Structure 1
Amino acid sequence: NFLALCATNSYDNTTFHRNMKGFMIQGGDPTGTGKGGESIWGGAIDDEFHPQNRVRIVSMANSGPNTNKQQFFITYAKQPHLNNVYTVFGKYDIEYSHLIPPVIQNVRALTIPSTRVIDGFDVLDAMEKAQVDAKFRPLKDIVLRNVTIHANPIADFK
């Protein structure tokens, strides 16, 4: 689902709509409201649990069991209480040329079991420090410009 959404540019120019210091930043919603997004199949996707107890884990956001669609989040710190609640996936390598109140220029995604951000920590740190309103929405847009898939294990498997 995530790889297909990346390949179809579904995440390009989307904003991160929720940012909770010490916890996570959430994005992937094309409406920017936190209420939008669809899976590549149109409906929700079942949970697939891969428990992790690390920092900078990338997971599907959901509204309950088996409701995964398009939104995702990246943790700023270890969040063991999220194990068996959210589907962990991918491996991010964030590249950037500059921040214009925080903007991610490119995100390289690889899907492997060890799912965490491996580079671009200063970008995540800047995103975590962004000012938010009472509902944790960033006061200035944090934009994901585009996603480039450098390795697709599903395509490579065929």
Structure 2
Amino acid sequence: MAQTVVLVTTMGEITVELYTEHAPKVSILFLAVTASQNASETLTLATKQTCHNFSTLASRGYYNTTPFHRIIPSFMIQGGDPTGTGRGGASIYGDKFADELNPSLRHSGAGILSMANAGPDTNGSQFFITLAPTPWLDGKHTIFGRVKGGMKVVQRMGLVKVDKEDRPVEAVKILSARVEEVGA
């Protein structure tokens, strides 16, 4: 069953599809060679910890009223920090958790949902959505979903006026977030 999160923002709704079942294309070959139960769990849970963190925070109302505190035109929009400073936020696992990098997932275009971080294994609650291909982020940020609906909203957010620190001059906020199960 696919899982989506709907972010109701001050500029409209954005629906993101979470990659809860995504595993690397090489996983079958790797499993056949290693026949390791632990490897199997690691590969099939490619981004499950990150997806679970995001959907749980959304369902708990953690993201409600939080700003998109950093917007860089033709690059990305970033949110998920309840302090609005870019330095706050925590995961459901405690302060930070490890990256779940998947070589088959790439920042190949606009609408990619990834975890924002301050270096390796520093994921918390902050996330970003790309506005263009950003291949230099591959292998550095956990990709865990994509925009399924509301890409025009994301694009409009990418055009708002920002100050010299990439903060929107007029607040752009997540008003509420809800988790939806899709399909069977």
TM-score normalised to the size of structure 1?
Answer: 0.77
**Corresponding residue of 2:114:** 59
* Aligned with residue 126 of structure 2, among 67, 71, 76: 71
Deviations 1:80-116 (A, max 9, x none): 1111100111xxxxxxxxxxxxxxxxxxxxxxxxx21
Distance of 1:41 and 1:80 partners within structure 2: 28
3-state SS of 2:181 partner: coil
For residues 169 and 142 of structure 2, the distance between their equivalents in structure 1, rounded to whole angstroms, comes to 28
Structure 1 residue aligned with 2:64 = 12
Structure 1 residue 88 corresponds to structure 2 residue 143 = yes
1:54 deviates by 2.7
Structure with a larger share of its residues in helix: 2
Structure ranking higher in strand proportion? 2
Aligned residues of 1:56 and 1:78 also touching (Cα < 8 A): no
Identity of counterpart residues, as a percentage?
43
Q: Which runs of 4+ in 1 moved over 6 A?
A: none
Paired with 1:14 and 1:69, the residues of 2 have a C-alpha distance of: 14
Q: Name the count of aligned residue pairs.
A: 129
Q: Over residues 97-137 of structure 1, what are the superposed CA-to-partner deviations in whole Å (9 max), with x where a residue is unaligned?
A: xxxxxxxxxxxxxxxxxx21122122112101100001100
Q: Which amino acid in the other structure matches residue 171 of structure 2? A: D
Q: Which residue does the alignment assign to 1:142?
A: 172
More off after superposition, 64-73 vs 115-124:
115-124
Partner of 1:42: 94
Relative contact order: is structure 1 or structure 2 higher (C-alpha 8 Å, sep ≥ 6)? Answer: 2
Q: CA RMSD in A?
A: 1.7
The higher radius of gyration belongs to: 2
Q: In structure 2, how many angstroms separate the alpha carbons of the residues matched to 1:117 and 1:41?
A: 25
Task: Say whether residues 1:121 and 2:151 are aligned partners.
Answer: yes
> Residue type matched to 1:27 in 2?
G
Gaps of 5+ in 2: 1-52
Report how far residue 7 of structure 1 moved: 1.4
Helix, strand or coil at the partner of 1:117: strand
**Cα distance in 2 for residues equivalent to 1:38 and 1:75:** 22
Residue 123 of structure 1 aligns to a residue in which SS? helix
